[in-house]
Amino acid sequence: MDNVIAFSPLQVVLIMLGVFGAAFVVTFIVILLIRGLGQWRQGNAPRVTFNAVVTGKRRETYQRKGNVSETYYVTFEADDGGRTELVVDAATYGLLAPGDSGQLTLRGSQYLAFVRN
């Protein structure tokens, strides 16, 4: 009846490392799946086109280890008064000005095109 299993301290440490390592790997995989699902949904969202006016522009500059990058944002206001701020490329940012009106096309929250009236 003495079926007691004894582990050495080294064995206990190795078992704990294995358990925590497995938990870390499972958590990492779950996070990747959730992020991938979000990107898949964005890519499968329907295209939507509606009248909009450019109401503002801004850019953010980031510097890391000597590399400088910029992210460009344009704010659009729809006919119903709803506003959305979208990331655009540098060329689009340069071509748009507050007050421009036209047809805005989106897929989810991704900017696709803006055609002036």
Flag whether pLDDT at 1 surpasses 60: no
User: What is the extent of the structural domain holding 6?
Assistant: 1-44
Q: What is the DSSP letter of 100?
A: -
**What percent of the chain lies above the pLDDT cut of 90?**
65
Q: Say yes or no: 30 and 58 in one domain.
A: no
Task: Identify whether the C-beta of residue 105 lies closer than 8 Å to the C-beta of residue 51.
Answer: no
Sheet of strand 47-64: strand arrangement: 83-88, 67-78, 47-64, 101-107, 110-116
pTM of the model: 0.64
pLDDT tens digits along 4-49: 788 888 998 999 999 999 999 999 888 888 877 766 666 678 899 9
**Same domain (yes/no): 93, 52:** yes
Q: How far is CA 81 from CA 40, 52, 53, 76, 117, in A?
A: 29, 9, 10, 10, 18
Task: Give the Å distances, CA to CA, from 79 to 9, 72, 86, 103, 117.
Answer: 69, 23, 17, 11, 14
- If asked whether residues 65 and 80 sit together in one domain, one would say yes
- Provide the number of structural domains found in the chain: 2
